[in-house]
Amino acid sequence: MNRVAAPYLELIRIAIQQIREYTPATAEEFRESLLLQDAVCMRFLEIGENLIRIRRLDDDAFVELAPASWHKIIGLRNVIAHGYEVIKPMRIWLFIDDDLEEFASTIEAANPESGLPLADE
């Protein structure tokens, strides 16, 4: 089987753009809107699912080479999927505010074949 990460990376890029579009200007607006929280969490769930699909291409390489933010989003996906009642909206906001752009840059730099940085070196 010749599976590549490119389709998963593209779905992640789309989800990142949607998060950017959904995210309000202030933390207060985010905290007050359950609709925005749900929309953003759904996109993080989608990103986490696609990262898991990339991990399945080569689990050992993923563990070794994937940036920490990728593991963090998979963990966030697990919380959203299995423990929605414990999600703290302001933690989601902090990830958007502090980590989303750095995460997005790692996705842009990923190898479309493996999905991972440094995979061909």
Radius of gyration of the CA atoms of the chain, in A: 14
Number of domains in the chain: 1
- Whether residue 38 is contained in a domain is answered as yes
113's enclosing H/E stretch is none
> Which amino acid type is present at position 9?
L
The answer to whether the beta carbons of residues 76 and 88 sit under 8 Å apart is: no
77 assigned to some structural domain: yes
Residue at 1 is within a domain? no
Q: Which domain holds residue 32?
A: 6-108
pLDDT at 116: 78
Please report whether residue 113 resides in a domain.
no
- Say how far apart CA 27 and CA 23 lie, in whole Å: 9
User: Which pLDDT band, with edges at 50, 70 and 90, does 104 fall under?
Assistant: very high
On whether residue 118 sits in a domain, the answer given is: no
Residue 119 belongs to some domain of the structure: no
Domain membership of residue 116 (yes or no) is: no
pLDDT tens digit sequence for 23-48: 999 999 999 999 999 999 999 999 99
Task: Return mean pLDDT, the chain.
Answer: 90
